[in-house]
Amino acid sequence: MTPRLPLLRRSLCAALIALAPAAAAQAQGAGSVPVTTDPVQIGPVPVEILANGIVAAESVVTVRTRVDGQITQVHVTEGQMVQRGQPLFTLDSRQGLALLAEREAQLSRNRALMARFQADMQRYQSLRGEGFAAQQRFEQAQAEALAAAANVRADEAVVQQIKLNLEFANIVAEADGRLGSLPLRVGNFVRQAENTALATITQVDPILVNFAVPERWLAEIKAAMARGAPRVRALPDQDSAPPAEGELVFVDSAVDTQTGTILLKARFPNRDLRLWPGQYVEVSMAPRVDERATTVAAAAVQTGQQGRFLFVMTQDGTARRRPVELVRSVGLRAVVQGELAEGEKVIVDGAQRVTEGTRVVERNPPPAPQRVSAR
């Protein structure tokens, strides 16, 4: 048994030597804080303005009658989409047609009288040099011809007015849009003097979004308007689809001194009726793009007594505190200013458990970079 002891000792020593590096690594990692990191990114990032907006129709047309009459036909239904010139209501026009026939007959009679008086005037004009009576008769015939012509013009105006009233008896849509409720039905009598609304037409395509932004953005917005209409995005509440896209079309002429904001309006195509008048939406607008913006994961930025800061994981595995200034947030990333280099590892998860000089170790491989679109 004695000769086997040296061999056993040599085997045991070899095993200890093989396990020494793993044990040393475990001892080193035992005192480190596990963290996850995200690299610092430098690149184009849109300067984004966020606000809450309200969808508003560009125009609302109230349909009213221009003549008195009883409704004989309703050609549309509530909530229907209509186009300009489409028939909506028809009023009883039989009385107007009878009056038109009477006035047209009177016009024909007055035209015949005018023709006779003009013929008399021409005959007496040839005799006006034969004496005082002839001159007097010519002047009388001339007056009668002028009076007859005036009567004809008056009758033509009345006939034109009656025809216009007959056109008004056919009530049509004056704009493209969506009909509201229809309070009146067939059989109701409407009067022009009562000014009763027969329907409302709300233009929904295109549609406007009204929103207000702090006046500190005014210079950026004016500069963007000088380059062209800035793009605006609107996202309805609890809508998972991509935001609707439109363009800025109006900047108010004055800043509201009570709120310190300025009113803006953006126009959106709305064929799918995704935006509805009166609806609240989240609005975002990017008047320009910052080509050299420094961004980090927003969760990495902390707030202390001396301002905002974050921790960077150095190459030797220690945490170093870096003061930063938060410029703005863009989605899940934050645009900051500070002494940061592109590609440096910023501690995201676990940053609350480290201090200056703390040994840290990456718990998982770094997440894929979250590039911010510069659209």
Give the model's pLDDT for residue 74: 94
**Mean residue pLDDT across the chain:** 85
| Digit-coded pLDDT (tens) for 142-153 | 888 889 899 999
361 with 323: CB under 8 angstroms?
Answer: no
With bands split at pLDDT 50, 70 and 90, how would you rate the model's confidence at 133? low
Tokens of 26: 């475990």
pLDDT number for residue 14: 53
The arithmetic mean of pLDDT across residues 162-176, rounded, is 92
Neighbours of 63 (CB within 10 A): 20
User: What is the C-alpha end-to-end distance of the chain, expressed in Å?
Assistant: 81
Look at residue 374 in the predicted model and tell me its pLDDT.
42
User: Any idea which residue has 């969506």 for tokens?
Assistant: 178
Average pLDDT of the segment spanning 18-24: 45
The CA-atom distances, in angstroms, between 328 and each of 41, 301, 360 are: 15, 12, 28
Share of the chain above pLDDT 70, in %: 86
Judged against a pLDDT cut of 80, whether residue 81 lies above it is answered with yes
pLDDT at position 158 is 92
pTM for the model stands at 0.66
Q: Is the pLDDT of residue 25 over 50?
A: no
Helix or strand or coil: residue 216? helix
